[in-house]
Amino acid sequence: MSNIVDARGRSCPEPVVMTRKAIETYSGGTIQVLVDTMVAVENIKRFAGNQGFLVEVSETDEEYSLFIKK
C-alpha cells in the first residue's frame, strides 16, 4: 500500500506535520512525500529518521520525492 503526501508549496513546519500524520497511520508499504524545498527535505528526513523510518530522496526538476518506509 502506498500513501502520497503532497506538501509542495507548503512552508515549514507544515510538510513535517503532514508527514507526521501519515506516519501515525502507517500500516506498511511506502509513504511518498512530495516537497519543493531542501529545507523541507532535511526536516522530514530528520523527523522520520527519529521515528525509526528509512528515507530515500529523489530530485526531479527542483522538486523532491521522499520515500519513507520501515
Which residues does the annotation mark as catalytic? Answer: 12
* 25, three cell numbers: 497511520
CA 5, 60, 14, 55 torsion-angle sign? positive
3-state secondary structure of 28: coil
